[in-house]
Structure 1
Amino acid sequence: MEVTIPARLSRLSLLLKEEGLSRLAQSRVVVLGLGGVGSACAEALARGGVGHLIIIDGDTIEESNINRQALAFSSTVGRVKADVMKAMIAEINPDCQVDARQIFLTKDNIEEILTDLPKVDYVIDCIDTISQKLEIAAFCQKEQLPLLSSMGAANKLDPSYLNFSKIEKTSYCPLSKIIRLECRRRGIKNLEVLYSNEQPFKVENPTGNTKSQTLGSMSYMPPIMGMMLAGKVIRRLAGMEEYRIW
């Protein structure tokens, strides 16, 4: 029987064929964090035909998010990120089933939250806090869940330096260095990450030492990272790219 492909997926079908689209429609992906990386990633997954998304973020949208986050507009400032992302996905792909949760992930609640999720085909870590990233990696390694983890986009300017790599082989990324050392200490091996090996830009004469005063972010870097993460997962779940779990 001939399957009718929705017009919004017609260009995808030229590349993924019916089988690839079917595999994606049956897949469930969890996106942890809906900042500049995570919001772009969730958007690309929805546009790419993923049928089930779990999106988790405890934050609300701030005006300072507008320069880089797909869900940040003047009209959405003050709203819950998870709610705005769910509404966006409904506009993009109404067939996508979205479980949106406003939860702040902490190192103490991550195992409970991830254990409570339905079976997922891929976990994408788009948060930027070290302790949480390590707990996510430890949990996914223990449970043998496929995981991609984004490293730092702050103070990076050139997306051509972005690479997928095992954490052990990363370089020139301050966040990757800390994660690499902690993974070694905790026995976490073969964590797959997206990172930039560009030398970080140094902010001159910062007014303080907080993230907002020392870590600049270009409008394009976090979204490109999110799109790359989504692209890797889409290709793998559609059967276009082989991959190894841990």
Structure 2
Amino acid sequence: MLNEFSRTELLIGKKAVEKLAQSMVAVFGIGGVGTYAVEGLVRAGVGKFMLVDDDCICLTNLNRQLHATRKTVGKPKVEVMRDRILDINPKADVVTRQTFYMPEHARELVKPEYDYIVDSIDTVTAKIDLILNAKQQNIPIISCMGAGNKLDPTRFEIADIYETSVCPLAKVMRKELRKRGINALKVVYSKEEPISPIETDESSCRFNCICPKGTTRKCTVRHQIPGSISFVPSVAGLLMAGEVVKDLINPLKNI
């Protein structure tokens, strides 16, 4: 009988579809990259999710984040994305945690039952600790480097962190991971040189913050607000989803 994953089965086969349905993927960071990663995963047939993000949807998210609409502004990102997953696949198992990942949260948020971790967090400290914990527990992980201040979605590549270049975040991550003895990490990164944001008093979130009520990390505390556009973080997220699916159905290809 035909079902929502029949076309996928034509491409990868029944056993692979069954494997994806039983797989659990934890996605950390449900923003411009993370929402499209989740979208790609659930539509491919991944059946179990852990979604981790502390933010509520802001009006300024509408330009790039899949779950952001006028109706969802002000709502927790993890809850809105959970509802979207279940609209696509009502059989999916979705756990949400509305919290910001920090080292002290590792024990409760990084669990051995995960089949894969998607890192779309935007802070270095959190990324490094998440990667370290994933590696310690032998959980496959893919990490997104900088997707802000970019305009060319064709410049994204998938590589090991130590094969990256150009991306400023990747440079920092290479240094910090090498110091911690991490010798390999699959990443999505862009070779496009970052564009300097054209910040004015009218366009700056730091001077005109409209973060919704309940936001724990307002943009006014951030060092820099990166520019963004619809078709760049979305591509990074879908590339991550593609790698996760390929690794889940053929784990021998995972780095």
Q: TM-score, normalised by structure 2?
A: 0.88
Task: Say how many residue pairs are matched.
Answer: 238
CA distance in 2, matches of 1:215, 1:41: 20
- The amino acid of 1:29's aligned partner reads V
Counterpart of 1:75 in 2: which secondary structure? Answer: coil
Report the equivalent of 1:113. Answer: 108
Unaligned runs of 5+ in 1: none
Report the equivalent of 1:157. Answer: 151
Report the equivalent of 2:166. Answer: 172
> 1:38 Cα shift?
0.5
Change (3 A) 1:205 1:94: closer
- The amino acid of 2:178's aligned partner reads R
Change (3 A) 1:213 1:178: closer
> 1:243 Cα shift?
2.1
> 1:172 Cα shift?
0.6
> 1:21 Cα shift?
0.5
CA-based RMSD of the aligned residues comes to: 1.9
Change (3 A) 1:206 1:131: farther
> 1:118 Cα shift?
5.7
> 1:204 Cα shift?
4.2
> 1:95 Cα shift?
1.5
Bigger shift: residues 209-218 or 128-137: 209-218
Report the equivalent of 1:103. Answer: 99
Report 1:132-211 matches (<5 A).
132-204=126-198
Counterpart of 1:108 in 2: which secondary structure? Answer: helix
> 1:33 Cα shift?
0.8
Kept in 1, the 8 Å contact 2:112–2:139? The answer is no
Kept in 1, the 8 Å contact 2:49–2:95? The answer is yes
> 1:96 Cα shift?
1.1
CA distance in 1, matches of 2:225, 2:48: 37
Change (3 A) 1:205 1:74: closer
Report 1:21-60 matches (<5 A).
21-60=17-56
Q: TM-score, normalised by structure 1?
A: 0.91
Unaligned runs of 5+ in 2: 207-219
Query: Could you report, residue by residue, the CA deviation over 1:80-118 in whole angstroms, capped at 9, with x for unpaired residues?
Result: 111101100110111111111111112332x22234x36
CA distance in 2, matches of 1:236, 1:48: 13
> 1:238 Cα shift?
2.2
CA distance in 2, matches of 1:212, 1:10: 47
- The amino acid of 1:113's aligned partner reads E
1:74 to 70, 73, 77: 70
